[in-house]
Chains A and B, each alone.
Chain A
Amino acid sequence: MKHGRYPFILSFLALPVGLYAWLVILPFAQAFQISLTDWSGSSNSFEYIGFDNYVNLFKDERLVLPALRHTGIILVVLPVVTIALGLFFAFMLNLGGRVRRGRIEGVRGARFHKVVYFFPQVLSVAIIGILWKQVYAPENFGGLITGALTSVGLPAPVNGFLADKRMVLAAVIAVLVWSAVGFYLVFFSSAMASIPRDLYEAAIIDGAGRGPMFFRITLPLLWDSVQTAWIYLSIVALDVFVLIYMMTPERGGPDAASEVVGGVIWKYAFNHGEQAFASALGVVLFFAALSLAVVSLRFGRRERIEF
Chain B
Amino acid sequence: MATDTAPGSTAEGASGADEAAPPARNPQRAPRPEGNVLNVFSQGFLWLWALMVIIPVVWIVMSSFKTTREIASDPLGPPEAPHWANYVNAWTNGNIGGYFLNTLQVMVFSVAGTMLLGAMAAYVLARYEFPGNRVIYFGFAAGMMFPVFLALFPLFKTLQNVSLLNTYTGLVIVYIAYSLPFTVFFLTAFFRTLPTGVAEAAVVDGAGHYRLFFQVMLPMAKPGLIAITIFNIIGQWNQFLLPLVLLGRNPDDAMISQGLANLALRQGYEGDSGALFAGTVLAMIPIFIAYILFQRQIQAGLTAGAIK
Tell me which of A124, A183, A228, A269 contacts B238 (CB under 8 A).
A124
Per the bound structure, the CA–CA distance linking A41 and B155 in Å amounts to: 12
Asked whether B39 lies within 8 Å of A107 as measured between CB atoms, the reply is yes
Query: In this assembly, does B38 line the interface, its C-beta being within 8 Å of a C-beta of chain A?
Result: yes
A242 vs chain B, min Cβ distance (A):
5
A220 vs chain B, min Cβ distance (A):
11
Given contacts A100-B22, A142-B71, A239-B148, contact A9 B130 (CB under 8 A): yes
Most buried by A among B29, B42, B57, B184: B42
> Contacts of B143 on A, CB cut-off 8 Å?
20, 24-25
Asked whether B17 lies within 8 Å of A110 as measured between CB atoms, the reply is yes
A218 vs chain B, min Cβ distance (A):
11
> Contacts of B288 on A, CB cut-off 8 Å?
119
Given contacts A13-B136, A92-B45, A147-B75, contact A131 B146 (CB under 8 A): no
Query: In this assembly, does B120 line the interface, its C-beta being within 8 Å of a C-beta of chain A?
Result: yes
Tell me which of A127, A222, A229 contacts B283 (CB under 8 A).
A127
> Contacts of A115 on B, CB cut-off 8 Å?
292, 295
> Contacts of A187 on B, CB cut-off 8 Å?
303, 306-307
B274 vs chain A, min Cβ distance (A):
10
Tell me which of A124, A186, A286 contacts B14 (CB under 8 A).
A186
> Contacts of B45 on A, CB cut-off 8 Å?
88-89, 92
> Contacts of B76 on A, CB cut-off 8 Å?
144, 147-148, 151
Asked whether A225 lies within 8 Å of B50 as measured between CB atoms, the reply is no
Asked whether B18 lies within 8 Å of A31 as measured between CB atoms, the reply is no
Asked whether A12 lies within 8 Å of B120 as measured between CB atoms, the reply is yes
Of the candidate stretches B190-198, B203-211, B221-229, the one touching chain A is B203-211
Asked whether A106 lies within 8 Å of B154 as measured between CB atoms, the reply is no
> Contacts of B300 on A, CB cut-off 8 Å?
190
Asked whether B2 lies within 8 Å of A9 as measured between CB atoms, the reply is no
Using A26-B158, A131-B57 as known contacts, list a sample of 5 further A-B pairs with CB atoms less than 8 Å apart, ordered by residue number in A. Answer: A34-B154, A110-B18, A190-B307, A191-B3, A195-B2
Residues of B within 8 A of A (CB): 1-3, 5, 10, 13-18, 20-22, 26, 29, 31-32, 34-36, 38-39, 41-43, 45-46, 49-50, 52-57, 59-60, 63, 71-76, 117-118, 120-121, 123-124, 128, 130, 136, 139-140, 143, 145-155, 157-158, 173-174, 176-178, 180-181, 184, 203, 208-210, 213, 234, 237-238, 240-241, 245, 256-258, 260-261, 264, 273, 276-277, 280, 283-284, 287-288, 290-292, 295, 298-300, 302-303, 306-308
Please list the 9 inter-chain residue pairs (A to B) with the smallest Cβ-Cβ separation, ordered nearest first. Answer: A96-B42, A282-B150, A124-B238, A142-B75, A27-B154, A23-B177, A92-B42, A27-B151, A106-B17
